[in-house]
Amino acid sequence: MSAKGAETKQRMIEATRASIERRGYFGTGLNQILADSDTPRGSLYFHFPGGKDELVAAAVTRSTGSIEAAIQAADITDPAAAFTGLITLLGDRLEESGWVCGCPIATVALEVAGENDTVQRACAEVYDRWTQALRVVLRATGRADADDLAVALLALVEGGLVLAQAQRSRAPLDSVSRVARTML
Amino acid sequence: MSAKGAETKQRMIEATRASIERRGYFGTGLNQILADSDTPRGSLYFHFPGGKDELVAAAVTRSTGSIEAAIQAADITDPAAAFTGLITLLGDRLEESGWVCGCPIATVALEVAGENDTVQRACAEVYDRWTQALRVVLRATGRADADDLAVALLALVEGGLVLAQAQRSRAPLDSVSRVARTML
């Protein structure tokens, strides 16, 4: 692929990443993605022969980064403070976006994970990576229940974001944060 | 409204409830709802002058029932067992549906709560009712942190369902259940 082609492909993935975070799978239209990324229609099937599903899966995979980086940057000597920091970061992001940018992949996961294998695999891999990043931090603290706790902390993050978005309020994240501190 | 009209209205709400649970707001089409509920197009704006948003909000409100009933039926002398029972119930439902029926309103909440006031209010009220039902159970146990814990348990349920649906596996719900037992 030419450098220009690679750049076009990345622009399409980025436009899709931004759209699925805000509007999910069904709310993301290919015409809008082509317009947002300033791309001719022919580029879509050239770069993504699998069409919308392949593009959305690539956008889901692209969404891994920021949360994984935040977890990996955690201070393992103080997991409670690290978790509170992650919740604060996500709460800031959600509030600043006008209560639309919660978990970047949860909307897509809930919409189509049951029925769309391509997108489901991408979502499962991202959640696995986040769980694994939490597990590494928790195992380093020597906790015997690190594996279960990693899943539960990710569930608290995901569920806290659902409730905060539904209520347009950070209060649910604050409650989650206080309870998590007692667990860590 | 005639008895027949009332029955038609209920049938439309029920068809919409079933659709938003599986496919969310954007995946729910009015033509499909009219077909599923065997209703003429004229009935839509007669019963729901606010159109799709009013219909979806009514369907969200209708979705309160089963989870609220399960929480209210909880044995308050053993909240850990009661929470495990709720998770098992929801896990059974999710698995039996082929990994599409998780939280009945979370998909809609994530898709539009930031931008659609009518649907957002309905979602926020349902989550408030579930939180309140958990709070009543936890306060009865005399816990000082009952209010925060009610929110955190609901977040664990919501987040556990997101992860289980994304991974098409009950394992995340099992982890959540084990961690919740140590908290209760």
Contact A165 B113 (CB under 8 A): yes
d(CA A106, CA B180): 22
Rounded to the nearest 5 degrees, what angle is found at the Cα of A178, between the Cα atoms of A176 and A182?
A: 110
Integer Cα distance of A25 and A59 in angstroms:
11
Which residues from chain B sit within 8 angstroms of residue A56, using beta carbons? none
Contact A106 B110 (CB under 8 A): yes
Which amino acid type is present at position A14? E
A137 or B53, which is more confident: B53
Residue A104 pLDDT level (bands cut at 50, 70, 90): very high
- pLDDT (tens digit per residue) in B52-73: 999 999 999 999 887 888 888 8
Q: Is A44:A34 a contact under the CB 8 Å cutoff?
A: yes
| Per-residue pLDDT tens digits for A21-52 | 999 999 999 999 999 999 999 999 999 999 99
Query: Is residue B103 a contact partner of residue B165, using CB atoms and an 8 Å limit?
Result: no
| Global model pTM greater than 0.90 | yes
Contact across the interface for A176 and B114, Cβ inside 8 Å = no
Judging contacts by C-beta atoms under 8 Å, the chain A residues touching residue B147 are 175
Task: Grade residue A113 by pLDDT with cuts at 50, 70 and 90.
Answer: confident
Which pLDDT tens digit goes with each residue over A157-175?
999 999 999 999 999 999 9
Rounded to whole angstroms, how far apart are CA atoms B81 and B86? Answer: 9
**pLDDT, average across residues B25-54:** 94
In this model, does residue A1 exceed pLDDT 80?
no
Global ipTM: 0.95
**Who among A100, A106, A152 is closest to B114 (CB)?**
A100
Chain B environment of A134 (Cβ under 8 Å): none
Q: What is the mean pLDDT of residues B103-116?
A: 93
Residues of B in contact with A151 (CB under 8 A): 163, 171-172, 175-176, 179
Give the three-state DSSP class for A38: coil
Residue ranges and CATH numbers for the domains of chain A are 3-62 (1.10.10.60), 65-183 (1.10.357.10)
Q: Give A84's pLDDT tier (boundaries 50, 70, 90).
A: very high
Which strand (E) or helix (H) includes residue B42? helix B41-47
Burial class (CB in 10 A: 0-12, 13-18, 19+), B6: exposed
Report the residue of A28, A110, A132 to disrupt the B interface, i.e. the one with the largest count of B CBs within 10 Å: A110
Q: What is the number of other CB atoms lying within 10 angstroms of the CB of residue B30?
A: 15
In a mutational test of the A interface, the residue from B86, B93, B110, B128 whose CB has the highest number of chain A CBs within 10 Å is B110
pLDDT band of residue A66 (cuts 50, 70, 90) is confident
H/E stretch holding B20 reads: helix B3-23
By C-alpha distance, which of B12, B137, B173, B99 is closest to A119?
Answer: B99
The closest CB to that of A24, out of B24, B172, B180, belongs to B24
A4 pLDDT above the threshold of 80: yes
Residues in chain A closer than 8 A to B157 (CB atoms): 159
Average pLDDT of every residue of chain B: 93
Handedness of CA A112, A113, A119, A122 (dihedral sign): positive
Give the separation between CA B83 and CA B181, rounded to whole angstroms.
8
